[in-house]
Amino acid sequence: MIAPQPFFRARGTPFSVLHRIRALVERGHVVDLVTYPFGENVELDGLTIYRAAKPPLVSDVRIGPSLAKLALDIPLYRKTVRTLRDGMYDVIHSHEEAAFFCVGLARKFHVPHIYDMHSSLPQQLANFRRFDLKPVRAIFERLENRVLSTCDGVITICEDLARIVQAKCPATPHAMIENTANDQKVFRASAINVRTEIGQEDGEIVLYTGNFEAYQGLDLLTDAFRQVARARPKAHLLLVGGNPEQVVRYRDSLTREGLQNRVTLVGTVHPSEIPGYITAADLLVSPRISGTNTPLKIYGYMRSGRPIVATNRLTHTQTLSETTAELVPPTVNGLAAGIIRLLSNKERCRLLAENARGFAEKEFSDSAYADKISDLYAQSMKGKTIATHRATRNSKEQRSA
């Protein structure tokens, strides 16, 4: 498996990579992961992590397209080549832009190639507003089309991406596998009393978890909360996530607005702590303003037993409905009104939370998640010649991905 990500780190795609691996090893496969030099090691039986070399002058990598990612992908490619030469594999499972070079490697090493499509890469350029130039988008579109026209199987994470795949390569085995896996299957929830820690035993806690990139709509949320704070004296906004620079910027901005006592920013926390924050919340909010893939946090939100407020955009509505969440216009007034409505209506909160949890338990079970991955592997490898002899690097007789 090839993941151009800092693995593991508490953000979207690394979570997805983690649960793809977990599902495979729990079904008896063995996974070698080739990834960036950054991130936390995760202990899973059947998983071995191989980290590419760190290029000079690159100390970390941020979310989204960047020159640092380009620099990191060069040693990632070299590490992938060496790994393939050292052992025989049944399949190459690539994530995101690693698929661009895995196309040629799959052909060279005669190995089936499964592409895990977390987003449309040309769309990423627009979402992050980095390198969003017509010639650059055109290059990414050609590369993406080449991957889709040559791979042996495709995994998508939402309906919008599924439609792209079905239009471009209808004959290729494909599975839409939402990022529904439960993080507590890997990270045991830690016992923390969040309300006591932040001094909000009696407050109405509105919780956001996730990164602080522009497409997530944090500016929209903080602007909306100014109205919420005036209407609900006990309302308290709790923001979990963001890098240190982003946290300082938002904290300074909110302090200038006089909201420093109504908002708590805790930065990025370990995944084991997230359940404690969700348990402490009165409602959960996802203010995303752009993009089409469903935020990974939505599935955890749905299982939580807490009501959800989300912007009424495709990124949410392909998973949420008016019976499982308070869907609001992606405006300051719309988001503020939705939060105030739920804080004022406990019965509506209870009903939405129950509906969301029931829907998640029915549609997004852990066994169904693993079944989808196993089925896609079986379809993608049908009729293909797979590795059967001992790899040369160590004593593993056969690797699956």
CB atoms under 10 Å from CB of 45, counted, come to: 7
Residue carrying structure tokens 């059947």:
46
- State the DSSP code for 116: E
Structure tokens at 53: 């070399």
Cα Rg for the chain, rounded, in angstroms?
A: 22
Q: What are the C-alpha distances in Å from 119 to residues 80, 156, 290?
A: 22, 8, 13
pLDDT category at 292 given cuts 50, 70, 90 is confident
Q: What digits encode the pLDDT tens for the residues 87-100?
A: 889 999 999 999 99
Mean pLDDT of the region 18-42 = 95
Q: What digits encode the pLDDT tens for the residues 249-261?
A: 999 999 999 999 9
Domains along the chain with CATH numbers: 2-180+365-381 (3.40.50.2000), 185-363 (3.40.50.2000)
Kindly state the helix (H) or strand (E) to which residue 399 belongs, with its residue range: none
| Total residue length of the chain | 401
Q: Are 151 and 111 in contact (CB under 8 A)?
A: no
N- to C-terminal Cα distance for the chain?
5
Q: Are 241 and 268 in contact (CB under 8 A)?
A: yes
Report pTM.
0.79
Mean pLDDT of the region 91-119 = 96
Positive or negative CA dihedral for 192, 193, 195, 196? negative
Give the span between the Cα atoms of 14 and 11, in whole angstroms: 6
Coil, strand or helix at 280: helix
Concatenate the DSSP letters of all residues of 312-339 into one string. SSHHHHTT--TTTSEEE-SSHHHHHHHH
Give the span between the Cα atoms of 162 and 258, in whole angstroms: 45
Phi, psi of 238, rounded to the nearest 5 degrees = -115, 120
Does residue 51 surpass a pLDDT of 90?
Answer: yes
Q: What digits encode the pLDDT tens for the residues 362-401?
A: 999 888 899 999 999 999 998 776 553 333 334 343 445 6
Q: Are 7 and 36 in contact (CB under 8 A)?
A: yes
Mean pLDDT of the region 104-127 = 88
Coil, strand or helix at 227: helix
CB atoms under 10 Å from CB of 320, counted, come to: 23
Burial class (CB in 10 A: 0-12, 13-18, 19+), 345: middle
Name the pairing type of β-strands 113-117 and 92-95.
Answer: parallel
Cα dihedral 225, 226, 227, 229, rounded to 10, equals 80
pLDDT category at 163 given cuts 50, 70, 90 is very high
Q: Are 311 and 330 in contact (CB under 8 A)?
A: yes
